[in-house]
Amino acid sequence: MSMFCMVCNKAPATVHVTRIVNNQITEGHYCANCANQKSISGIGHQNNPEDLLNSLMNPGGILEAAAPLTNVTVAARTCECCGLTYQRFKETGKLGCPECYQTFKDSLRDLLRRMHGSVQHQGKNPSHTVDWVQRDNKVRELRQQLQKAITKEDYEKAAHLRDLIKETETN
């Protein structure tokens, strides 16, 4: 099932934009031509992750306002461990060491919130895998119960769990 451009409604949508503003998610689907005409902040021209990260970190050329660390501006922060500056991180899209995560914590949190809508990983499974993942989890749980039943020498329950495992695996 292909999606068509929201503007011209003729060409297939090849540029997909998700915007999160005030926790409200809006999606846009455009063909390459309409995306270029609308100048959708360079979308479709980012050939590497650094360019994409930079466009998210600095939308419209405006440095995001992050909470200052001891009155040091975001751009002036430097990791004490590796010497990476926030400006250099913005240019490369790469952190220098594990300590950078603490040094730039506030800015990274804002960046992740803009990119993903949240700073907490929610996890996601493709829809075609949900059934077998659930089945696999169920079998794993039943096997743990089976081990406990065998340890307790409750062989009647163990036989019942064995049958449930076989039934679950074949469905």
Say if residue 103 is in the same domain as residue 81. yes
Domain-located, residue 116: yes
pLDDT at 61: 40
Q: Would you say 93 and 53 are in contact if contact means Cβ atoms under 8 Å apart?
A: yes
Nearest to 41 by CA among 13, 19, 9, 12: 19
Say if residue 34 is in the same domain as residue 10. yes
Domain-located, residue 143: yes
DSSP 85-141: BHHHHHHH---SSTHHHHHTHHHHHHHHHHHHS-SS------GGGHHHHHHHHHHHH
Domain-located, residue 140: yes
Say if residue 3 is in the same domain as residue 25. yes
Domain, as residue range, for 134: 129-170
Structure tokens given for 53: 């990260």
Domain boundary (94, 120, 146) is at 120
Domain-located, residue 162: yes
Say if residue 109 is in the same domain as residue 138. no
Say if residue 137 is in the same domain as residue 115. no
Say if residue 13 is in the same domain as residue 35. yes
Number of domains in the chain: 3
- Please give the model's pTM, rounded to 2 decimal places: 0.34
Say if residue 142 is in the same domain as residue 109. no
Domain-located, residue 51: no
Domain-located, residue 56: no
What is residue 26's DSSP assignment?
A: E
Task: Give me the tens of pLDDT residue by residue for the chain, a chain 171 residues long.
Answer: 568 888 898 988 888 777 777 777 888 888 888 887 776 644 444 445 555 555 555 544 433 333 333 334 555 678 888 988 888 888 888 888 999 988 888 888 888 888 777 777 766 666 666 677 788 889 999 999 999 999 999 999 999 999 999 998 887
Domain-located, residue 52: no
pLDDT at 27: 82
Say if residue 2 is in the same domain as residue 38. yes
Q: Which residues pair with 16 in a beta bridge?
A: 29
Cβ count within 10 A of residue 112: 15
Domain-located, residue 89: yes
pLDDT at 105: 87
Nearest to 107 by CA among 122, 85, 123: 85
pLDDT at 159: 95
Q: Which residues pair with 12 in a beta bridge?
A: 4
